[in-house]
């Protein structure tokens, strides 16, 4: 049989099995590969008896987004973030809202060849404060993400991972050591949901959340997409909220966002705004201080309130900042209570804009 030849760089986190296969140890799928095979994520493959990353240096395009779009509401609010992804994913969510990227084969979707230095330079040039690994899950392109993150930090830029947190313990340490902030998708709060709709497991995701809270300085927020009839029962929302409160504490922001029919889940309606507001109320009653609604028009549900006096600290309308009542050291101007997060003296002024940019291509400079 002809063996497929990949154009990849050496991957980390794998070992040989006694039966001749090679096992990828990057994520809890533990794909076991014969020569020439790809893993479920499609971008890691076995070539020349080792695991390679086939998408190193290749992106699905670059955009400058508001940081609130990641979503991160308490990390350098109002600033622009250079965002990019690659192709593939290690989850198989039937409701994927980014399926054109996550289900893409490297060859048919990736356009831009960009070195870590070129990405970091482009971010600096365009006035971004951070670079985000997003659109598809960056754990599957760990080697590229880490190199880009190092190039960013060398230029004073922050780094942001948008991830489902489905990664093994050892690579998790390396990956998040290079990140300043993360948004972790907590897709539901039952093993059945993860098994039936994502062919994955809940426990490793909870492990990543606890790891981030108790073993790192990464600022992180959580997003749960509420899907009608799948993960939106008051009981499940309450269980999720109580777990966050008990295991992570009251200061981790939690975003409940609206689903729209997509990919293989076209039979479900959009999430009603009332469901998102109900979820927010339940999470606040569980003790969480910063709970937001997303993907709907709801300025009241998208603003940050002081847990000391109840006043508006940061007013938002979608991704736009409307009010700013934090002191330069991140305290309520009215009562002095500290707000959890990473703030600078003044908010950024990027607004809700989204702007595609071109990063000088490796191909062009070769």
* Residues lying near ligand SF4 in the complex (CB under 6 A): 24, 26-27, 29-31, 39-41, 44, 90, 140
Q: Are strands 254-258 and 291-294 parallel, antiparallel or unpaired?
A: parallel
Rank residues 45 and 123 by Cβ distance to ligand SF4 and give the closer one: 45
Rank residues 12 and 242 by Cβ distance to ligand SF4 and give the closer one: 12
CB 351 within 8 A of CB 317: no
Distance in Å, CB of 211 to ligand SF4, minimum: 18
- Phi/psi at 337 (5° precision): -70, 135
Distance in Å, CB of 239 to ligand SF4, minimum: 27
Distance in Å, CB of 24 to ligand SF4, minimum: 3
Helix (H, G, I), strand (E, B) or coil at 338: strand
Distance in Å, CB of 212 to ligand SF4, minimum: 19
Rank residues 27 and 276 by Cβ distance to ligand SF4 and give the closer one: 27
As a whole number of angstroms, the distance between CA 28 and CA 24 comes to 9
As a whole number of angstroms, the distance between CA 168 and CA 185 comes to 16
Rank residues 41 and 131 by Cβ distance to ligand SF4 and give the closer one: 41
- Phi/psi at 10 (5° precision): -60, 130
As a whole number of angstroms, the distance between CA 108 and CA 114 comes to 17
Distance in Å, CB of 67 to ligand SF4, minimum: 27
Rank residues 39 and 188 by Cβ distance to ligand SF4 and give the closer one: 39
Q: Which residue is nearest to ligand SF4 (CB)?
A: 39
Q: What is the DSSP letter of 264?
A: T
Distance in Å, CB of 138 to ligand SF4, minimum: 11
Q: Are strands 158-163 and 80-84 parallel, antiparallel or unpaired?
A: unpaired
As a whole number of angstroms, the distance between CA 203 and CA 73 comes to 26
Question: How many degrees, rounded to 5, is the angle at CA 363 between CA 358 and CA 366?
Answer: 125
CB 300 within 8 A of CB 293: no
Distance in Å, CB of 325 to ligand SF4, minimum: 43
Rank residues 55 and 73 by Cβ distance to ligand SF4 and give the closer one: 55
Rank residues 53 and 64 by Cβ distance to ligand SF4 and give the closer one: 53
As a whole number of angstroms, the distance between CA 249 and CA 243 comes to 9
Q: Are strands 304-305 and 312-317 parallel, antiparallel or unpaired?
A: antiparallel
């Amino acid at each position: 049989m002809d063996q497929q030849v990949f154009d990849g760089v050496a991957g980390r986190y794998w070992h040989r099995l006694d039966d001749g296969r090679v096992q990828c140890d990057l994520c809890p799928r533990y794909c076991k590969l014969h020569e020439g095979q790809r893993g479920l994520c499609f971008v890691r493959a076995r070539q020349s008896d080792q695991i390679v990353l086939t998408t190193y240096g290749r992106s699905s395009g670059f955009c400058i987004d508001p940081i609130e779009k990641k979503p991160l509401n308490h990390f350098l609010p109002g600033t622009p973030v250079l965002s990019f992804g690659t192709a593939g994913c290690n989850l198989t969510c039937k409701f994927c809202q980014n399926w054109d990227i996550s289900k893409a084969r490297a060859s048919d979707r990736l356009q831009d060849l960009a070195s870590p230095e070129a990405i970091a330079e482009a971010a600096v040039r365009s006035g971004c404060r951070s670079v985000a690994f997003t659109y598809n899950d960056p754990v599957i392109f760990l080697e590229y993400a880490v190199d880009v993150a190092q190039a960013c930090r060398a230029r004073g830029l922050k780094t942001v991972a948008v991830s489902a947190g489905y990664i093994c313990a050892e690579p998790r340490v390396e990956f998040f050591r290079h990140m300043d902030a993360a948004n972790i998708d907590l897709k539901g709060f039952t093993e059945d949901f993860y098994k039936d709709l994502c062919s994955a497991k809940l426990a490793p995701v909870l492990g990543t959340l606890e790891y981030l809270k108790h073993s790192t300085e990464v600022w992180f927020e959580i997003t749960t997409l509420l899907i009608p009839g799948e993960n939106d029962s008051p009981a499940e929302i309450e269980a999720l909220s109580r777990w966050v409160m008990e295991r992570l504490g009251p200061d981790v922001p939690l975003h409940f966002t609206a689903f729209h029919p997509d990919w293989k889940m076209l039979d479900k309606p959009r999430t009603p705004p009332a469901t998102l507001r109900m979820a927010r109320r339940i999470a606040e009653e569980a003790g969480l201080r910063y709970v937001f609604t997303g993907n709907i028009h709801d300025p009241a549900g998208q603003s940050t309130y002081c847990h000391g006096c109840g006043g508006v600290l940061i007013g938002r309308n979608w991704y736009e900042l409307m009010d700013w009542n934090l002191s330069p050291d991140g305290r309520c101007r009215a009562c002095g209570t500290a707000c959890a997060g990473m703030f600078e003296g003044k908010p950024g002024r990027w607004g809700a804009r989204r702007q595609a940019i071109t990063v000088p291509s490796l191909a062009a400079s070769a």
